[in-house]
A and B are shown apart, each in its own frame.
Chain A
């Protein structure tokens, strides 16, 4: 009967971790987007488009997409593995283990992830209003910061219920890596002599 209270907490913790990870990855992508290291892939698509459709009256502007540099994503995975045993945990087969056992391990993942999140990122909610309260979006609101859903008709200002406050990374500061460091090794094999 001891296990009953454990189940919901462990599931909550799990969701929290997964949520946190997706947020972090999103945050990294966003931060990368703003930094000069990511290279917009503008030139190539334009060339191929003009080669294939040389006689087209007006070449359409090619969609501007940027490719992500995987290095910082790999670095983040490495940190999550070292601090929170993240990869180990996701690769476990949960079948056959009790929620109490999973719950114990999820503490490792939760504590480590939280420590990492606090150390390298500063997070703030996008909106400061209480969730489930009514908010009004004035004309010209930033659609990247505020996603409108449901009965999307008419013209702003829009009034609706704040479902989720959103998260915004205000600072992301991952450790610097040495030139010769291979970020693909997110955890070295350990051999005790």
Chain B
């Protein structure tokens, strides 16, 4: 596919941790070994260590805070914006200078993702950065670390696969691509994270993966990371006697993950201490959250431990007498996490609030309902028609036959067991066979590993997952009806990109024409739907169920005035294309002439 590229590199740009994995393309095998790059980074001022993860945090250090001599990296001076462990370390005590969850901001339509506003609500003299620039900073560090390790094989010359959540909208995908280009990485493709996890599983299972899944299987991929939960469904079909994998549905972007669980435990312990008359200061709660993370792992494993002591040492040099001691019991963890986050619910019980309510709110749209199983039930019901094209017969909810886990949270056996038992409870009630767990997955590093393997698959080795767009996309058109006072003009939605549109394909230009004023940007309302699977390009919707279409940030088309008179109105048609990167492009095509103008996704006013 590409000349001069020695490695296929997978980059998992995570919400809380980033990982880089690579495969030697010269290996002549169907199941090559992936390696994970040990990323050299500052772990504290003046201290450099190589770790497999780069925490996705950025810290805007005050100029008096660290001396420049303490910011040396093996390849030179660190930029003033610190990333990785050192950022997390310093930010723990000075949160107002810390940028966290840049990735969640990247897919937050309510903000201008190019404008410098992070850290949110920080005082004026803290240098601000944008979600885009923060993502670029993590990539720049990964690139520097790679190029230090492989000076003869610079990263910009390798084939890179960047993973994005399956639920990322076109604008967020575009921005991820833009972040990569801004640090000089141009040879990359995008891959959805749950697919990457499945690729990793296929590669790790070796040839036996074909024995573990059969034609007719629907694999549910549940990915619960530090900050987000991502769901996908993959159907197993057959073509010419070979098994094929088809990604048939993806879930909403749910901001709910392991960090929420640690916090929930810390607040539970805090309540217990409050009842004993001991009040906690913010730094103690933070230390407690940290302690809860370790205690949780001990209590959720299969061991017989009934309680784990939690100790919060004093901040000063006197330890004795001022150290706080309490404990976390197995019951507390099970109530808070197993029942709190994975409640035993029926298939009909869905989150009380839609995950993305107000598009304009400032602050991240965290999931209001912490019940992962309720989100899962909602997803399976919403996607009840997803497998129809493959296996016929509509159902009241989609019935997975196999489950693949990903993300650190599901390393805890108790949580994994609960999740399976809830899903199997639904299946049993519906008279279906229980789903089986696909084992052998590497929950922490699977996404990066799978991404590296995907680059290898793209060269024609092994099985490839067919995906295409996981949403249909629509442009809103205000219909020209006489105005009725007090009523907004009725809105129609024109389908511009159908569900399942594949990489490298394009639609023919719409019949509908739009008048664009030369030299003036025109904004359209933009919608996506993960459930309207059969709408063809050009279909005009007059009516739809509110839950079917989700409004995305508006898109904008502008015609440069070159060759035309400013103010002139030009009739254009819209066409969609999915490029080789895997991102959607909308183009405006004037009726006369061959030119095409890009329609921009990320156009919030500055």
Contacts and interface: CB of A to CB of B under 8 A. Distances in A.
Interface string B290-327: 00001000000000000001010101011111010100
A180 B46 contact: yes
Contacts of B409: none
Contact of A94 (B93, B309, B320): B320
B148 to A, nearest CB: 12
A192 B93 CA distance: 9
B478 interface: no
B362 interface: no
A85 interface: yes
Contacts of B317: 88, 91
A191 B109 CA distance: 39
Contacts of B43: 175
A88 B323 CA distance: 12
B48 A102 contact: no
B487 interface: no
A89 B320 CA distance: 8
Contact of A92 (B69, B294, B320): B320
Given A105-B313, A107-B311, A108-B313, A178 B319 contact: no
A111 B310 CA distance: 11
B321 A101 contact: yes
Contact of B47 (A85, A104, A108, A175): A175
Q: B68, B74, B320, B325 — which one has the most chain A CB atoms within 10 A of its CB?
A: B320
A82 B319 CA distance: 13
Interface in B56-95: 67-72, 74, 93
B49 interface: yes
A181 interface: yes
A178 B311 contact: no
Interface in A76-108: 82, 85, 88-89, 91-92, 94, 97, 101-102, 104-105, 107-108
Contact of B46 (A111, A181, A190): A181
A177 B319 contact: no
A88 B47 contact: no
A176 interface: yes
B47 A97 contact: no
Given A85-B319, A176-B49, A104 B69 contact: no
B40 to A, nearest CB: 8
A101 B313 contact: no
B289 to A, nearest CB: 16
Contact of A180 (B67, B311, B319): B67
A155 interface: no
A55 interface: no
Q: A102, A105, A177, A179 — which one has the most chain B CB atoms within 10 A of its CB?
A: A105
B309 A180 contact: no
Interface residues of A, number: 24
Interface in A161-193: 175-181, 190, 192
Given A92-B320, A178-B72, A180-B70, A107 B309 contact: yes
B535 to A, nearest CB: 54
A74 to B, nearest CB: 12
Contacts of A101: 320-321, 323
Nearest to B48: A176
A175 B49 CA distance: 5
A177 B69 CA distance: 11
B298 to A, nearest CB: 11
Contacts of A192: 93
A105 B319 contact: yes
Given A85-B319, A88-B319, A178 B48 contact: yes
Contacts of B318: 88, 92
Nearest to B324: A104
Contact of B320 (A105, A111, A179): A105
A85 B320 contact: no
A105 B72 CA distance: 35
A190 B49 contact: no
Q: A94, A97, A111, A175 — which one has the most chain B CB atoms within 10 A of its CB?
A: A175
A175 B47 CA distance: 6
B55 to A, nearest CB: 16
A44 to B, nearest CB: 33
Nearest to B312: A108
Contacts of A88: 317-319
Nearest to B317: A88
A13 to B, nearest CB: 12
B240 to A, nearest CB: 50
B311 A108 contact: yes
B320 A180 contact: no
A97 B72 contact: no
Nearest to A180: B69
Q: B68, B70, B318 — which one has the most chain A CB atoms within 10 A of its CB?
A: B70
B47 A181 contact: yes
A178 B46 contact: yes
B72 A180 contact: yes
Contact of A104 (B44, B49, B74, B325): B325
Contact of B48 (A91, A92, A175): A175
A96 to B, nearest CB: 9
A153 B319 CA distance: 50
A98 to B, nearest CB: 10
Contacts of B67: 180
Contacts of B74: 176
A115 to B, nearest CB: 9
A9 B321 CA distance: 19
Contacts of B48: 175-178
Nearest to A115: B294
B313 A181 contact: no
B47 A105 contact: no
A90 B44 CA distance: 24
A104 B321 contact: no
Contacts of A89: 319
Contacts of A102: 320
A56 B591 CA distance: 108
Nearest to A190: B315
A190 B283 CA distance: 13
B309 A97 contact: no
Interface in B13-46: 43-46
Nearest to B294: A111
Nearest to B315: A190
Nearest to A89: B319
B317 to A, nearest CB: 5
A176 to B, nearest CB: 4
Nearest to A75: B47
Contacts of B49: 175-176
B16 to A, nearest CB: 20
B309 A178 contact: no
A101 to B, nearest CB: 6
A99 to B, nearest CB: 11
6 contacts: A105-B313, A107-B311, A175-B49, A176-B74, A179-B69, A180-B67
Given A101-B323, A105-B313, A108-B311, 7 more contacts: A89-B319, A92-B320, A101-B321, A104-B325, A105-B319, A108-B323, A190-B315
Interface of B: 43-49, 67-72, 74, 93, 294, 309, 311, 313, 315, 317-321, 323, 325
In the A-B complex, list the 4 residue pairs whose CB atoms are closest, starting with the nearest: A180-B69, A181-B46, A104-B325, A178-B72
